[in-house]
Amino acid sequence: MSLVVVGSVAYDGVETPHGKVDRMLGGACTYIALAASYFTKPHIVAVVGDDFEKSDYDYLVSRGIDLEGLERAPGKTFFWAGIYSHDMNERDTLTTELNVFATFQPKLPASYRAQPYLLLGNIQPSLQQDVLAQMTAIRLAGGDTMNYWISDYRNELLATIAHWDFLLINDSEAKMLSGENNLRRAASKILAMGPHTLVIKRGEYGAILFRRDCHFIAPGYLLEEVFDPTGAGDCFAGGFIGYLASRGIQPQDGGVDLAELRRAVIYGSVMGSFCCEMFGVDRFRTLTRAEIDHRYHEFQACTGF
């Protein structure tokens, strides 16, 4: 079953200890859709400026991504630049130029409205809410958010995630949203806000999936070399929702196949790990589904006991 993804398509400038790229394709929606494209057909809703390269457009099309919802607006594409610390555990933002993204109003093409899966990338909560309201046959909807919305748009955010099946955030955001330092207690509080499924991403340490009655802890895949962690969390999200969509899973309260949710977390980790192996989206230019499944099995081999 196919998937609608809403969020940013951007250009990024990134410097890591392994090198520097001044401008390359990026943005949460891009990473999510690319990762999900190995499992299902993503339909994206995003905006770019008139500087958006034909080669980038063609690349997304080549991955089977539906770009009917990619709006072109006069002006420049969202640009972000950042630099990573020596051990890559921290990064500083050097530039954020919202450009056409500043006034982004997601417009869903008619053909998208009856799609069953929806992933709302990190944008203003009220826009996320508008998109979900336009969908007519949702089986599974959820998304991401960030510290800015948690602190400055809290009520709007709470009203938004109350309608989500799942929330996918990182550990510091989970602590901030819940006001709890302990992840188990943080998860209980967040699950009381609406979503029946919570995935807390922990960067190199993996991820934890929480539901009201159980949890699943997955360590991170151990890479020999991390070239560029940009987009890894979004690729996790893309692998997670992409796998669920490919299997037609509808994990509501009660009647859910937990084994499938666990597999979705591992596919998420696998996609996040591949993302780090090259700058930006470059790893996806050659990555195959066979390599993904191979790494899934490697994961099984080095975590089972």
**Contacting its own copies (CB under 8 A), which of 54, 55, 86, 286?**
86
**Contacting its own copies (CB under 8 A), which of 123, 177, 218, 244?**
218
Q: Does 262 bind its own copies (CB under 8 A)?
A: yes
Looking at beta carbons only, is 113 or 294 nearer to its own copies?
Answer: 294
Structure tokens given for 164: 């989500």
**Nearest distance from C-beta of residue 270 to its own copies, angstroms:** 12
Q: Does 305 bind its own copies (CB under 8 A)?
A: yes
Kindly report the three-state secondary structure assignment for every residue of the chain. CCEEEECCCEEEEEEECCEEEEEEEECHHHHHHHHHCCCCCEEEEEEECCCCCHHHHHHHHHCCCEEEEEEECCCCCCEEEEEECCCCCCEEEEEEECHHHHHCCCCCCHHHCCCCEEEECCCCHHHHHHHHHHCCCCCEEEECCCHHHHHHCHHHHHHHHCCCCEEEEEHHHHHHHHCCCCHHHHHHHHHCCCCCEEEEECHHHCEEEEECCEEEEECCCCCCCCCCCCCHHHHHHHHHHHHHHHHCCCCCCCCCCHHHHHHHHHHHHHHHHHHCCCCCCHHHHCCCHHHHHHHHHHHHHCCCC
Q: Does 24 bind its own copies (CB under 8 A)?
A: no
Q: Does 90 bind its own copies (CB under 8 A)?
A: no
**Contacting its own copies (CB under 8 A), which of 263, 277, 282, 291?**
263
Looking at beta carbons only, is 152 or 213 nearer to its own copies?
Answer: 213
Q: How many residues does the chain have?
A: 305
For residue 124, the tally of other CB atoms under 10 A from its CB is: 17
Question: Binding segment for its own copies among 42-50, 64-72, 219-227, 244-252 (CB under 8 A)?
Answer: 219-227
Q: Does 215 bind its own copies (CB under 8 A)?
A: yes
Q: Does 232 bind its own copies (CB under 8 A)?
A: no
Looking at beta carbons only, is 139 or 175 nearer to its own copies?
Answer: 175
**Contacting its own copies (CB under 8 A), which of 41, 196, 201, 202?**
202
Q: Does 147 bind its own copies (CB under 8 A)?
A: no
Residues binding its own copies: what is the number (CB under 8 A)?
A: 34
Q: Does 189 bind its own copies (CB under 8 A)?
A: no
**Nearest distance from C-beta of residue 3 to its own copies, angstroms:** 22
**Interface positions with its own copies (CB under 8 A):** 86-88, 181-185, 202, 205-206, 208, 214-220, 222-226, 259, 262-263, 265-266, 300, 302-305
